[in-house]
Structures are given as structure tokens and as C-alpha cells.
């Protein structure tokens, strides 16, 4: 079996998730290629050394050396958002495939440059939208496309968490426009991608962005917050459906509330990532007083679930979704086009929507896409 040399940049939560996924992909699936963990980089050299040893990488080094290492064929980037652009562009210039965490970039101009550079390089490129690998979301899209719900008339999507809900939560890089892009970029990119995954292109939108806490504690003082804490959007889809979208990192009690409801002339679908193995389906035509939502439970009848467990109700989790994403990535590197993921082109579409949201909020008008 041919080996693919892997270089990973970043040792935080996402770096560890990527490392685990490369290991789990090998033990879970019969792959066409095998990942070989060549190099690990981090701004903290000592931590890079420890993590390289713990996670099974052959060595630790700085990121520039990693990108230019002839043994590294794929560069996986799990750094803060502002570093996605320079690291990706360096990797593409070196002819390496790139697996970058979302959002693709801090600005649409950077995202456009990354997309175009990837096309010129002709290499495999993927962006970390692993929630879309959930078998239940693939089932949801199948139900929508098959007409199970009838004609789609309405949609509501939301991604809310509470990690910035405390006004005294300290200022971080996530609070700087040039570093991150606020709740819209951090969480909203996921619900934008999910909306496209389920219902396709957005034709127009009208948005409002809101910064609830204008200052946060920083180094013994206070620092001005420049980004949005929450966003609310009206949507018109190209297929004729209308809907709403919301994202916030202020909503106490919400830990991973990536959720949607899709409404059709014959039924409704509802989903919440906090219960990621369940899909709720309502179909019209039941007896009055006895109709209601049915809960569809994930199980081995869904092929991607069966790879992990032969029994229904035993549940998949976040790291399994990451493993599914890495499996698709490795098969793409092997030249297998049957398995797909979010590439730079699709990630650019998400960034284009995010920019339209910002433009609409700033100019207080509808924006056509």
C-alpha cells in the first residue's frame, strides 16, 4: 500500500482531532493509501516535541521546514484563522496537498487567492467541515431531495454556543477582526455550509450583526471588541425556499447547537448536533391528535455508521465524523473520486456568503449573491 506523508501544523484541540483521525482512519477502513505521520509543527517548540512523541509523528519542527520537507505530501493546518492563508499559500507553492480547518480564510480576498492557487497547483484540497460527514445529515439531504417533505417552503438554521456568554470572559484572538472574524466566522461558517449542503445556493440575503459586549478584560485592563457576537440573517434560496439563519456564542446552555428545521408541503425535518445521532421527521396525514414527530435513530443501516459499530443506538461522536472526513481526504489523494468532502471551491462559496452577510449588515440592505 502506498504511503502518504502527513505534516500537521498546530497542537491544540483541532490538531489533536486531526492526529486521532489519521490513526482511526487506518484502523477503521480499508484504505487505498496509508498515512505516514512525518512531521508536527507548533509555535511552542517544546509542546511540538511532546505531542510528536505522544501522537506518533516522526519529528517536530517549525512550520516552514514542515512545508518544505520532501517527505511531506499533505499539509494539515489547524492554526488560528489568520495563519490559514500564509501557511496554505506556502504549501501550495511547494506543490503539497492541503487540508485546512475552517473557515478557509479571514477575508474573501484571501479565500479567493487560496482557491485560485489550489486550482493552479492541481493538488487535492479539503477544508474541515466534518459535521457534514454525519450519516444523519446525509440522510436528511436524501429525504429532502427525494421529495419526502414535498416542496420545500421554509428553513431555519442556527449554530449557538455559550463560551463567550460571560461578559467578563477574557479578550482573545477570536475578538480581533484581522485574526478571526467573530461568531459569524467561527460558528456561522458551519451553519452556512450546512444550509448549502441541504438546500443549495442562496440567491439573496439580508443580515444584522450585533456586538453585545463592546469591551472585554485584557492584561489587567479592558480592550475594545471589534467583531460580532451574534448574527441574524434572512435567506432566499435559489430553489424558491425562504428561511432564517442565526449564530451566537452568547447563548447560555448551548454547547454545540448546530441545528436546523426544514419545512415542506408534506412534512418537516428537525436536527440538533447536540443529539447528532437523531433526526426528527414529521409527516402529514396522521390521525388528528396522534400525529407528531418520529425520531429516526442512526444505526448500521447507514454505511458510514456501520464502519464503527454493528449495533444501532450506540452512537457516533465528533471524532468519528473527523475520521470520516480524513477517510474521504485520503481516498481523494489516492485518486478515488467517489468520496467527496468540502474543497476550497465550496469553502470559498461559504466565505462569499459570509462576506455578503457582512456587506448586508453594514449597508442595511438585501444583497444578491
**85 touches 114 (CB < 8 A):** yes
322 assigned to some structural domain: no
Please give the average per-residue pLDDT across 346-361, as a whole number. 98
Contact between 66 and 7 under an 8 Å Cβ cutoff? The reply is yes
Model confidence over 263-286: pLDDT tens digits? 999 999 999 999 999 999 998 777
Average pLDDT on 45-52 reads 98
Average pLDDT over residues 183-199: 97
Say how far apart CA 248 and CA 232 lie, in whole Å.
9
Q: How confident is residue 24, by pLDDT bands cut at 50, 70 and 90?
A: very high
Per-residue pLDDT tens over the stretch 144-163: 999 999 999 999 999 999 99
Pull the grid cell for residue 137: 445529515
**Residues 76 and 150 placed together within one structural domain of the fold:** no
Name the residue range of residue 178's domain. Answer: 135-275+277-314
- Which backbone phi and psi does 21 adopt, to 5 degrees? -65, -40
Give a yes or no: residue 33 inside a domain: yes
The pLDDT of 85-110, averaged and rounded, is 97
Q: How many CB atoms lie within 10 A of CB 53?
A: 12
The answer to whether residues 198 and 302 belong to one domain is yes
Residue 369 lies in a domain: no
| Same domain for 310 and 224 | yes
pLDDT by residue (tens digit) across 201-236? 999 999 999 999 999 999 999 999 989 999 999 999
Looking at residues 168-191, what average pLDDT do you find? 90
Average pLDDT score over the chain: 95
Residues 47 and 142 reside in one and the same domain: no
Question: Helix 13-28 vs helix 318-333: angle between axes, to the nearest 10 degrees?
Answer: 70
Shared-domain flag, residues 78 and 167: no
pLDDT exceeds cutoff 70 at 339: no
Q: Is 364 left (phi over 0), alpha (psi -120 to 50) or beta?
A: left
Considering the domain architecture, whether residues 127 and 139 belong to the same structural domain is answered as no
Domain annotation covers residue 7: yes
Mean pLDDT of 74-102: 97
Within the chain, residue ranges assigned H as helices are 13-28, 45-55, 63-68, 84-93, 108-121, 135-146, 182-183, 189-199, 303-306, 318-333, 344-363
pLDDT > 90 fraction of the chain, expressed in percent and rounded: 92
What is the CATH number for 83?
3.40.50.720
- H or E, element range at 259: strand 257-264
One domain, residues 122 and 225: no
Supply the CATH number for residue 292's domain.
Answer: 3.30.360.10
13-18 — which CB contacts under 8 Å span 24+ positions? 14/78, 14/101, 14/128, 15/40, 15/42, 15/51, 15/78, 16/51, 16/55, 17/78, 17/318, 17/319, 17/322, 18/76, 18/78, 18/99, 18/322, 18/326
Residues 232, 143 share a domain: yes
pLDDT of residue 162: 97
Q: How many domains does the chain have?
A: 2
Q: Kindly state whether residue 338 falls inside one of the protein's structural domains.
A: no
Cell numbers found for residue 67: 512545508
* Pair type for strands 202-210 and 367-368: antiparallel
**Pair (122, 139) in one structural domain:** no
Weakest-pLDDT range from 113-127, 184-198, 333-347? 333-347
User: What does the pLDDT look like over 293-319, one tens digit per residue?
Assistant: 999 999 999 989 999 999 999 999 999
Does 73 lie in the same domain as 55? yes
Average pLDDT of the segment spanning 163-168: 95
Q: Pick from 293, 314, 335: which residue ends a domain?
A: 314
Do residues 151 and 209 share a domain?
yes
For 37, 141, 264, 267, the CA distances from 153, given in Å and listed in that order, are 47, 15, 5, 10
Query: Whole-model pTM?
Result: 0.95
Higher pLDDT, 288 or 62: 62
Residue 340 confidence (pLDDT) above 90: no
Q: pLDDT value at position 338?
A: 61
Q: Label residue 291 by pLDDT band (50, 70, 90).
A: confident
Q: Is residue 28 part of a domain?
A: yes
pLDDT at residue 367 above 80?
Answer: yes
**Are residues 107 and 157 located together in one domain of the fold?**
no
Q: Is residue 360 part of a domain?
A: no
Give residue-wise pLDDT tens across range 99-127. 999 999 999 999 999 999 999 999 999 99
- Place 180 in a pLDDT band, splitting at 50, 70 and 90: confident
Does 261 reside within a domain?
yes
45 falls in which pLDDT band (50, 70, 90)? very high
Amino acid at each position: 500500500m502506498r504511503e502518504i506523508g502527513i505534516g500537521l501544523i498546530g497542537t491544540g484541540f483541532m490538531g489533536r482531532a486531526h492526529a486521532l483521525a489519521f490513526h482511526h482512519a487506518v484502523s477503521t477502513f480499508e484504505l487505498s493509501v496509508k498515512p505516514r505521520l512525518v512531521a508536527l509543527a507548533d509555535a511552542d517548540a517544546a509542546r511540538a516535541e511532546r505531542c510528536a512523541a505522544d501522537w506518533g509523528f516522526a519529528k517536530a519542527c517549525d512550520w516552514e521546514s514542515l512545508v518544505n520537507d520532501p517527505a511531506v505530501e499533505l499539509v494539515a493546518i489547524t492554526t488560528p484563522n489568520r495563519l490559514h492563508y500564509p501557511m496554505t499559500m506556502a504549501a501550495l507553492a511547494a506543490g503539497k496537498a492541503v487540508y485546512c480547518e475552517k473557515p478557509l480564510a479571514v477575508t474573501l480576498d484571501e479565500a479567493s487567492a487560496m482557491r485560485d492557487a489550489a486550482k493552479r497547483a492541481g493538488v487535492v484540497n479539503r477544508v474541515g467541515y466534518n459535521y457534514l460527514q454525519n450519516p444523519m445529515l446525509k440522510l436528511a439531504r436524501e429525504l429532502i431531495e427525494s421529495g419526502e417533505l414535498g416542496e420545500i417552503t421554509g428553513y431555519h438554521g442556527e449554530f449557538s454556543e455559550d463560551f463567550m456568554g460571560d461578559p467578563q470572559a477574557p479578550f482573545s484572538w477570536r475578538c480581533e477582526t484581522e485574526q478571526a472574524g467573530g461568531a459569524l466566522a467561527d460558528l456561522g461558517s458551519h451553519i452556512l455550509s450546512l444550509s448549502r449542503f441541504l438546500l443549495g445556493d442562496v440567491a439573496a440575503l439580508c443580515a444584522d450583526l450585533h456586538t453585545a459586549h463592546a469591551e472585554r478584560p485584557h492584561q489587567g485592563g479592558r480592550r475594545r471588541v471589534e467583531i460580532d457576537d451574534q448574527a441574524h440573517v434572512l435567506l432566499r434560496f435559489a430553489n424558491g425556499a425562504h428561511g432564517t439563519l442565526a449564530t451566537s456564542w452568547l447563548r447560555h446552555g448551548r454547547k454545540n447547537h448546530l441545528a436546523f428545521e426544514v419545512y415542506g408541503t408534506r412534512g418537516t425535518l428537525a436536527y440538533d448536533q447536540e443529539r447528532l445521532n437523531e433526526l426528527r421527521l414529521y409527516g402529514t396525514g396522521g390521525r388528528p391528535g396522534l400525529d407528531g414527530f418520529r425520531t429516526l435513530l442512526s444505526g448500521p443501516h447507514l454505511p458510514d455508521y456501520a464502519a464503527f459499530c454493528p449495533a444501532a443506538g450506540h452512537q457516533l461522536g465528533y471524532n468519528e465524523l473527523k475520521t470520516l472526513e480524513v477517510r474521504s481526504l485520503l481516498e481523494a489523494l489516492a485518486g478515488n473520486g467517489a468520496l467527496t468532502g468540502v474543497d476550497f471551491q465550496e469553502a470559498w462559496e461559504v466565505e462569499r456568503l459570509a462576506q455578503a452577510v457582512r456587506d448586508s449588515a453594514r449597508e442595511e440592505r438585501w444583497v444578491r449573491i
